Structure 1
Amino acid sequence: MLVGMPSAPVSRMGWRQKVVRALEERVSRAPRRVAITGVGLVTPLGVGAAESWDALTQGRSGIRRLTEEDLKEAPEKFARLPVKIAGCVDNASIEGLYPGSLPRNLQFAQIAAKEALSQARWQPLTDSERTRTGVSIGAGMGYPSTFYTVSNLVGQGRERRVSPYFIPHVLSNMASGLVSIEHGLWGPNHSVATACASGAHCIGDAFRMIGHGEADVMVAGGAEACIDVLSITGFSRMKALASGHNDSPSLASRPFDKDRSGFVLGEGAGVLVLEELRHAESRGATVLAEVVGYGRSGDAHHMTQPSKDGKGAVRCMAAALSDGGLGAEDVGYVNAHATSTPLGDRIEQEAISSLFGAGPHVSSTKGAVGHLLGAAGAVEAVFTVLSLRSKFLPPNVNFGETEEALRGRAKLVGAEGLRADGLEVAMTNSFGFGGTNSSLVFAV
Structure 2
Amino acid sequence: MSEREVAVTGIGMVTPAGPDRESTWDGLCAGVGLAAYDEELAGLPVDFSCKVPGFDADALLGKRITWRNDRFIHLAMVAAREAVADAALDTAAWDAPRVAVVIGVGSNGGDRWPQEYRNLDEGRVGAISPTALLRSLPNMVAGEVSTDLRALGPCLTTSTACASGATAIGTARDLLRSGACDIAVAGGTDCPRVPMGSATFYRMQALSARRHDPAGASRPFDAGRDGFVLSEGAAVLVLERPGHARARGARVRGYLSGYGASSDGYHATRPDPDGTSARRAMLAALADAGADVPDVHHVNAHGTSTPINDRVEAELIRTVFRTPPPVTSLKGVIGHSLGAAGAIDAAATVMSLERQLIPPTANLDRLDDGMELDVVTKTPRRHRMDGAISNAFGFGGQNSALFFRTA
TM range (shorter): over 0.9
Q: Which residue of 2 aligns with 1:33?
A: 5
Aligned residues, how many?
401
Asked if 2 retains the 8 angstrom alpha-carbon contact of 1:289 and 1:385, the reply is: yes
> Which structure's relative contact order is higher, taking Cα pairs within 8 Å and 6+ residues apart?
2
Asked if 2 retains the 8 angstrom alpha-carbon contact of 1:294 and 1:319, the reply is: yes
Q: Which residue of 2 aligns with 1:417?
A: 380
Q: Quick check: which has more Rg, 1 or 2?
A: 1
AA aligned to 1:293 is G
Q: Which residue of 1 aligns with 2:368?
A: 403
Note the C-alpha offset of 1:394.
1.0
Q: Secondary structure of 1:46's partner?
A: coil
Asked if 1 retains the 8 angstrom alpha-carbon contact of 2:50 and 2:334, the reply is: yes
* 1:379 maps to 2:344: yes
Question: Where in structure 2 are the equivalents of 1:109-128 lying within 5 Å?
Answer: 109-125=76-92
Note the C-alpha offset of 1:238.
0.2
Q: Secondary structure of 1:437's partner?
A: strand
AA aligned to 1:382 is A
Name the CA distance, whole Å, in 1 between partners of 2:249 and 2:221.
42
> Which residue of 163, 180, 189 corresponds with 1:197?
163
* 1:89 maps to 2:89: no
**Could you tell me the TM-score, scaled by structure 2's length?**
0.96
Question: Where in structure 2 are the equivalents of 1:154-303 lying within 5 Å?
Answer: 154-243=120-209, 245-303=210-268
CA RMSD of aligned residues (A): 1.4
| 1:305-340 deviation line (CA, Å, top 9, x unaligned) | 000111121011011011001111110000000100
Asked if 2 retains the 8 angstrom alpha-carbon contact of 1:138 and 1:173, the reply is: no
Q: Which residue of 1 aligns with 2:119?
A: 153
**Is there any run of 5+ residues in structure 2 with no aligned partner, and where?**
none
* 1:64 maps to 2:29: no
Q: Which residue of 1 aligns with 2:403?
A: 441
Q: Which residue of 2 aligns with 1:14?
A: none
Note the C-alpha offset of 1:93.
5.3
Q: Which residue of 2 aligns with 1:362?
A: 327
| 1:211-234 deviation line (CA, Å, top 9, x unaligned) | 121110000001111111100000
Name the CA distance, whole Å, in 2 between partners of 1:429 and 1:31.
24
AA aligned to 2:308 is L
Asked if 1 retains the 8 angstrom alpha-carbon contact of 2:32 and 2:363, the reply is: no
Name the CA distance, whole Å, in 2 between partners of 1:163 and 1:151.
11
Name the CA distance, whole Å, in 2 between partners of 1:43 and 1:387.
17
Note the C-alpha offset of 1:157.
1.6
Q: Secondary structure of 1:202's partner?
A: helix
> Which residue of 306, 323, 344 corresponds with 2:309?
344
Q: Which residue of 2 aligns with 1:136?
A: 102
Asked if 2 retains the 8 angstrom alpha-carbon contact of 1:317 and 1:439, the reply is: yes
Asked if 2 retains the 8 angstrom alpha-carbon contact of 1:47 and 1:93, the reply is: no
Mean alpha-carbon deviation: is it higher for 147-156 or for 434-443? 147-156
CA shift in 2, pair 1:365/1:139, >3 Å = same
Name the CA distance, whole Å, in 1 between partners of 2:321 and 2:56.
40
* 1:428 maps to 2:390: yes
